[in-house]
Amino acid sequence: MAHHHAHQAQLHAMQLAIIVLLAIATTPATALADCGRDGITILGSPDEHDDACEAVGEVIGHFADGGLVIDLRVTIRFQPSVAIERDGDEAASPANGEPRLASGFYHVARREIWMTRSTSVWAHRRRPWNLPWDRQLALSILKHEIVHAIIYQLLGADHRKLPRAWHEALAYAVQIELMDADLRTRVLAQYPRRDAFSSTLHVNDIVYGIDPDSFAVAAYWTYVQGGRMAFLRRAIGLQFEMIDMDHMPP
């Protein structure tokens, strides 16, 4: 009987060990803390976690300085590659069904930012603004996606009233504003003659589609000329004339 009890105890200990092991196995090893903010989850390496917290803090701080305080809820996932999906902020996949890769993507319904890891070969082949991929460039792309997440959250159900090109213009403007000064200088130097948009009517899908890098620089100068966050607040308040054709239902 004693032997039996001992056996039972061993069995219980073993069951407990299995349960603990299962719990460890099902918890993603890379799931770390959340920058000290309740709504933020980051799934990545320790370095990626640090970069993401730095980016989140800077962008939230920039909005707060501009009078837009937000309790951001977003999950940031670092992945080997990112394929754009429907229901995100970017255009849907092209008709041929080939997945379109992106360095970063905000999935509206999931409230998730998917970021291509800096170690990805694909990321290094991409040259936004014709500049080599580095940590500062990757950080700035992450900030761009965080701006999308904040603007979607601020707009709530109204997010569709802001045309897609406007979502991009604002994300690019704040991305460039919050760049490391040296990187910003190098980006702006690629388009020395690019000025602010002469009319906000130029903030549309066609101008964006022709040359997103140039569109981004013009969006930045428009943002600066318009008083930075004052400009952004007017845009997300839908407080000036915009073309309706960009967001007519298909």
Residue nearest to Zn ion (CB): 171
- What CA–CA distances, in Å, run from 9 to 1, 17, 20, 28, 172? 12, 12, 16, 30, 62
Judged by beta carbon, residue 118 or residue 175, the one nearer Zn ion is 175
Distance of CA 188 to the CA centre of its chain: 21
In the complex, minimum distance from the CB of residue 77 to Zn ion, in angstroms, rounded to a whole number: 16
- What pairing do the DSSP bridges indicate for beta strands 112-116 and 104-107? antiparallel
Min dist. Cβ of residue 153 to Zn ion (A):
15
**Identity of the residue, 14 or 92, whose beta carbon is nearer to Zn ion in the bound complex:** 92
Residues found in the chain: 250
Determine the size of the site formed for Zn ion (CB under 5 A). 2
Q: Which helix (H) or strand (E) holds 135?
A: helix 135-155
Smallest distance from the beta carbon of 212 to Zn ion, in angstroms? 9
- Supply the minimum distance, in Å, between the C-beta of residue 188 and Zn ion: 19
- Part in contact with Zn ion (CB under 5 A); list of ranges 12-20, 26-34, 169-177, 180-188: 169-177
C-alpha dist (Å) from residue 79 to 3, 69, 114, 117, 166: 52, 29, 7, 6, 27
Q: How many CA atoms lie within 13 A of 55 on its CB side?
A: 32
The only residue of 32, 171, 218, 236 in contact with Zn ion, by rule CB under 5 A: 171
Q: CA–CA separation, 235 vs 51, rounded Å?
A: 29
Q: Which stretch binds Zn ion (CB under 5 A): 25-33, 69-77, 164-172, 225-233?
A: 164-172
Tell me the window of 49-57, 133-141, 167-175, 179-187 that interacts with Zn ion (CB under 5 A).
167-175
Residues 78, 45 contacting (CB under 8 angstroms)? yes
Q: Which residue number, 32 or 171, has a Cβ lying nearer to Zn ion?
A: 171
Closest distance of CB 115 from Zn ion, Å: 12
Six-digit token string for 212: 């997103």
Under the criterion CB under 5 A, does residue 229 sit at the interface with Zn ion?
no
- Residues of the shown chain interacting with Zn ion in the complex, contacts defined by CB under 5 A: 168, 171
